[in-house]
Structure 1
């Protein structure tokens, strides 16, 4: 893992860090580039900086002592997609995601160039030493003033403070976990001589190799939390699967009012389930792609324009289950539709390939739509996404099904799919749009597994 580098003149005069108050959180967070943030943190003077992510905000809400510690910090650094989403709820966009795993190594590169030293305090026995060794391997000029674990090594707070001060460290990194690290720094701020102190959470574990970072593509998608959840499900489930929805719900309530809670909860459910499914089903996706490629010529994915929320068109993704000339042959097959109404469906469709019949039977062909869900074009639960030619033929009442995002699963999908007539499908979708709740969505998701295994109407 290579640290990020920033082209920053070391002699630059650095003004105070700009901040922005996120209305949905009620916190003043640093609103600056990584380079400017690093320069300001390393400038002359004493500073205490904490990283603030969704979990930190949850702790902040219920822990008075932690709130006092946060209020006493000199800089609060925005960390993670949750804080970014909370800002967007009120139209606020911070300059950068200043997560500690990327920012601190970059900061230490600049610190080394300035001849500054660092002390690592926290983690399991041996972790701080391993993290220090990893840092020195990556930043040879960096001076490690000392290390100390967060277990027996933290038992005597006065001894810890004395050891840090005697080391002469310019920077102290404390990795005791939230909220312990912030409480410790707040409690001992007046005793520490180091100009810069930071609470860094799981950074030592990442540096030491105890916990691996998510692949670059997952980090770029701002979904590293999914990787953490997959690695440590017992420890992280409550934080991410319960904590994150609660965080966004409270932010939405503060930003928009009660009517936005359902929308925020629904979107979080979509993102959580789709990212988790993408990771867990990656072997199935890979095998399916290979089988399609072997079975017939043409691309693995089938792209088709569908009509989404409020009539907006989008490109829907599916595994290709038909020959490459399927669209050209569609018009000639309309008369053989097994389904009444404007939606064409033929059980003995000659365009379907051998692999196509299998993946349709178990709905595997629909899995690439997970990407549409992540992009916000579809939801996990919603009406079947319609073709533009179908929407053009809709009676006025049927247009009401476009009031919600189309979904991977829904009332129609778990009630027989192609065996359900068009008029009945419309009534199902209108009823869903009028009465949708998080509990209903969860119920339909649970019923989907039985529908897939039963295969009724899947062709």
Structure 2
């Protein structure tokens, strides 16, 4: 391609200072919070910013040019729960989920405060213009330098570069989808006068109103991918159902390869069973979450602090089976417990919703704990994860059950669940702790299917 514009000369970049990093399937991510990312983006020098989610990682595995473009970007940020899980598999923690849809408006507010202008490049004809109007209204003082579509407007690279440079834009948002936008930035960003270029994917469609974002509770539950799948099942099924399972399998394989010498057979079993279950059960989550939200207000996902191995606390995930005020009403119901001992259970608990009784009957409310297993907080097989107030009231002999990770299933769960009193449950858990083995875990996993189907002790 012949360049006829005298200002189309590559710029020298100023390297960013050292920052925490984490490597995910060959791509190095800046492991930073949103304020740290914004500070790095606006630091002196030129910046090319990309995001990595499960789909991006799968694409990079197939497309070497895209993988190289990511490696040459100044800042690659973690986007989505898949990347977070992949990091956890390696024993790392992602500082903050920094998807472009939520981070870019914050970048625009900082740009407006600094008096900088932005050029919107990408989307179908007309989309960039509507997106520009929306973000200009949302961010007072933001200067829109210009817009150009990502179809006919992107075919003439020389013309596109000239238009962007003539606009005097300080920032260029490139919305062409993965991997096209990263390849375009990798090749042409050095020829732009703009100091900052950011690949933003489908952001213009959200801003322009072409595509509706997931409701806040779904986003808060880190299930926005499930919403997009529900909205566009034919287009997104391969990306999310096949793609997510493929990504997690590759991430697990890479983590196991890196940590093979330190990973126990039990942890290998946890990861294998969890990934298999996740791939099969993902389509069940969506209708269940919708049914929960339709029956009662509040998020579909329930989070609660539980006590894990060696008394360490963690956040346990469940599908919400009760009304949102269940915790406030618990104390008044303790006297109605159908189980002897510390752990409260009531067959006629008025806090349980109708959909809650159904998902409890078949243990569907426990499915999100697969994420706890992948994160390493729990195991597939182990004692029931206890509440903090329960542990505080434990007799000395019950503390032995905290020597291992709590589990999705175990001796207590396959022997009658809530029909079993606290003392007998403790005896079972202690017996498991003292005699645990891979063969016993496999046996208990097999018995769990029979228990779930029968529904014995589930309420």
TM surpasses 0.5: yes
Match of 1:163 in 2: 163
Aligned residues, how many?
A: 412
Verify the 8 A CA contact 2:119 2:171 in the aligned structure 1. yes
What SS does the corresponding residue of 1:189 show, helix, strand or coil?
Answer: helix
- Alpha-carbon deviation of 1:268? 5.3
Which among 271, 281, 287 is matched to residue 288 of structure 2? 281
Correspondence for 2:255: 252
The 3-state SS of whatever aligns with 2:191 is coil
Residues 258-285 of structure 1: per-residue CA shift (max 9 Å, x gap): 8555434545567788887565224544
Q: d(CA) in 2 for partners of 1:49 and 1:357?
A: 45
Q: Match of 1:434?
A: 439
3-state SS of paired residue (2:181): helix
Query: For residue 53 of structure 1, what is the aligned residue in structure 2?
Result: 53
Contact 1:20–1:94 at 8 Å: present in 2 too?
Answer: no
Task: Please identify the structure whose Cα radius of gyration is greater.
Answer: 1
Question: 1:248 touches 1:264 (CA, 8 Å); kept in 2?
Answer: no
**Is the 8 Å Cα contact of residues 111 and 117 (structure 2) preserved in structure 1?**
yes
TM-superposed CA distance for 1:51, in Å, is 1.6
| Distance change in 2, residues 1:307/1:113 (3 Å) | closer
Q: Could you tell me the TM-score, scaled by structure 1's length?
A: 0.66
Q: Which residue of 1 aligns with 2:102?
A: 102
Q: Bigger CA drift: 370-379 or 258-267?
A: 370-379
Query: Distance between the aligned counterparts of 2:123 and 2:41, measured in 1?
Result: 23
Alignment of 1:169-180 (within 5 A): 169-180=169-180
Once the two structures are TM-superposed, the CA of residue 126 in structure 1 deviates from its matched residue by 2.0
Distance 1:195 1:287, change over 3 A: closer
Residues 455 and 43 (structure 1), Cα distance of their counterparts in 2 relative to 1, 3 Å cut: closer
Task: Kindly indicate whether residue 146 of structure 2 is the aligned counterpart of residue 139 of structure 1.
Answer: no
Alignment map for 1:361-380 (pairs within 5 Å): 362=358, 364=360, 366=363, 368-369=365-366
Following TM superposition, by how much is the alpha carbon of 1:179 offset from its aligned partner in structure 2, in angstroms? Answer: 1.0
How far is 1:174 from its partner? 0.9
Tell me how far apart the structure 2 counterparts of residues 230 and 43 of structure 1 sit (CA, whole Å).
Answer: 39
Gaps of 5+ in 1: 1-13, 291-302, 335-341
Query: How much does 1:103 deviate?
Result: 2.2
TM-score normalized by the length of structure 2? 0.66
Write out per-residue CA displacement over residues 274-305 of structure 1, whole angstroms, 9 at most, x where no aligned residue.
88756522454467769xxxxxxxxxxxx999
1:177 counterpart SS class: coil
Ranges in structure 2 where 5+ consecutive residues have no aligned partner? 1-13, 298-302
1:111 — aligned with what?
111
Give RMSD over aligned pairs: 5.4
Return the alpha-carbon distance in structure 1 between the equivalents of residues 158 and 209 of structure 2.
30
Following the alignment from structure 2 to structure 1, what is the Cα–Cα distance between the partners of residues 45 and 292?
54
Task: Choose the corresponding residue for 1:263, options 270, 276, 284.
Answer: 270
Q: Distance in 2 between matches of 1:324 and 1:255?
A: 47
Counterparts of 1:313 and 1:65, CA distance in 2 = 44
CA contact (8 A) 2:383 2:406 kept: no
In structure 2, distance between residues paired with 1:304 and 1:95: 21
Determine if contact 2:270/2:380 at 8 Å carries over to the other structure.
no
Structure 1 residue 240, shift from structure 2 partner: 4.9
Aligned equivalent of 2:407: 406
- Indicate how the Cα distance of structure 1 residues 372 and 80 shifts in structure 2: closer, same or farther if over 3 A, else same: closer
Cα drift, residue 117 of structure 1: 1.8
Equivalent residues of 1:116, 1:142 under 8 A apart: yes
